[in-house]
Amino acid sequence: MNNSTLKQLSEGLARGEYSSVELTEAYLKRIDSTDGDLNAFITVTADQARTQAAAADERRASGQAGPLTGVPIAHKDIFCTQGVRTSCGSKILDNFTAPYESTVTHKLQDAGMVMLGKTNLDEFAMGSSTESSFYGPTRNPWNTEVIPGGSSGGSAAAVASGQAPVATGTDTGGSIRQPAALCNLTGLKPTYGRVSRWGMIAYGSSLDQGGPIARTAEDAALLLNSMAGFDHKDSTSKDIAVPDYTADLDKPLDGLRIGLPKEYFGEGLNSDIAARVQAGVQELEKLGATVKEISLPRTRLSIPAYYIIAPAEASTNLSRFDGVRFGYRCENPTDLLDMYTRTRAEGFGEEVKRRIMVGTYALSAGYYDAYYNKAQQLRRLIKDDFQNAFAEVDVIAGPTTPSPAWKLGAKSNDPVAMYLEDIYTLSVNLAGLPGMSVPCGQVDGLPVGLQLIGNYFAEAQLLNVAHQYQQVTDWHQQTPAFG
């Protein structure tokens, strides 16, 4: 049961093979027996899950169940969940109980999903390894010596290990796609504005987007159906109708034009990953797609542009954590300034402080034009590069990451080495486009991902391509020997 897809569980519940209460108990048991090794969860909400499961069973008995009703889910601990600790992986929010529910978790709750708990993440989603959490690192179920990716590493490890059938994640520069790739899962970052950011603790507000982490494209489509949609509480949410993302899954790929950016296959890419991705693209060709080389010339510049813009936005977003209104406050402050200073010095971890300093510097008078403005100009050029590519192709394919998962601690003292791992994912966020990662094989026993990038609001097309790929491959069905 613990390796089932959301779709299978939904059908099992509908046929009455098990109740939501039974299903929920099975997942809670799995969490109990494995999370000592993985540390995928920051908070397990067992009692609340049991109550929600019983309510889901009642809803089903009264004929009101939808496709998600009664299915358990884990939420990244960046989504505010009313009455439940929402820590964002930080000491500064360790004592914070959210007084309201985020739009995304609310919608999934309305659909009848059962929340198992809140998953681990890099502190404030800043990282690619889930090592910077105040609650300690999450381990990869494929090999507990290596990182699960990040920042949604807790969500990915939970799904990959069978602790939860699906999970939510957020992606500012790769945080859904990269952990999905490194844990053999299917992850989708929607178009900026497709999914409400309300109640999602802000990191880089012009880049952040919530999305599904699942075993299959079909499961991701089922979740996105409930996550997406206009929200008047998020001023950047787009008022565009939400299609049924499962409707196009079975469409044949005949005539689909795929572009392979030459910059995604150059220096820095692990040659075994290159081979796995090329093999994945060949499968798509067999399904009727045509493939051509394209160019995204500014790819390399996405790293400096992103690592100016994201910290700049973070430095302003994180100014709200000052010890006054909520969260951690230092002991015995001598005056207001001492309280601000010590609260932030003691409450934030190293990577968060680094980014606040970089961001503050980039925004300061005298440096604003040289750094922040330049980065924004680059961002525009990166967006234009994608639009030039989409004049010739429908979908862009390439690797999700340049390397497989690395050993815990291997990049902890070298932030730039960690930033370089985001080379293929950052530009998608800078442009605001939708992107997916689907399992396409293993390198030395560790999973790697094929990235698919679409034009704005082309999530249904990406899901269609990924689903067709998963009909002819079985990489996504492979599970770790863990536990």
Ligand X SMILES: NC(=O)C[C@H](N)C(=O)O
Active site residue 76: yes
In angstroms, what is the minimal distance from the CB of 421 to ligand X?
Answer: 7
Please give the full DSSP string across 174-235, using - where no structure is assigned: STTHHHHHHTT-EEEEPPTTSB--TTBPPSSTTT-EEEEEESSHHHHHHHHHHHBS--TTST
- CB-nearer residue toward ligand X: 227 or 426: 426
- CB-nearer residue toward ligand X: 123 or 394: 123
Residue 252 structure tokens:
């044949």
- CB-nearer residue toward ligand X: 128 or 184: 128
Check whether the bond before 319 is cis (ω within 30° of 0).
no
Cβ atoms of 208 and 310 closer than 8 Å: no
Cβ atoms of 89 and 120 closer than 8 Å: yes
- CB-nearer residue toward ligand X: 138 or 175: 175
In angstroms, what is the minimal distance from the CB of 75 to ligand X?
Answer: 16
Active site residue 87: no
Q: Is 54 exposed, middle or buried (0-12, 13-18, 19+ CB in 10 A)?
A: middle
In angstroms, what is the minimal distance from the CB of 101 to ligand X?
Answer: 22
Tell me, what amino acid is at 300? R
Q: Check 90, 175, 237, 302 and give the catalytic one.
A: 175
Active site residue 251: no
CA torsion, ordered 386, 392, 397, 399, to nearest 10 deg: -50
- CB-nearer residue toward ligand X: 131 or 422: 422
From CA 77, how far away is CA 115, in angstroms rounded? Answer: 12
- CB-nearer residue toward ligand X: 113 or 314: 314
In the chain, % helix, strand, coil (3-state, to 5) comes to 40, 15, 45
- CB-nearer residue toward ligand X: 310 or 397: 310
* Cα angle, residue 43 at apex, residues 42 and 48 outer, rounded to 5°: 160
In angstroms, what is the minimal distance from the CB of 172 to ligand X?
Answer: 4
Nearest to ligand X by Cβ — which residue?
A: 175
Tokens 């989504």 correspond to 79
In angstroms, what is the minimal distance from the CB of 258 to ligand X?
Answer: 25
Tell me, what amino acid is at 328? Y
In angstroms, what is the minimal distance from the CB of 423 to ligand X?
Answer: 11
- The residue ranges that bind ligand X (CB under 6 A) are 125-128, 151, 171-175, 310, 422
In angstroms, what is the minimal distance from the CB of 351 to ligand X?
Answer: 8
From CA 314, how far away is CA 318, in angstroms rounded? Answer: 6
Q: Check 7, 20, 76, 133 and give the catalytic one.
A: 76
Q: Check 20, 128, 133, 151 and give the catalytic one.
A: 151
Q: Is 121 exposed, middle or buried (0-12, 13-18, 19+ CB in 10 A)?
A: buried
Q: Could you tell me which residues are beta bridge partners of residue 397?
A: 452
Element (H, E) at 91: none
Active site residues: 76, 151, 175
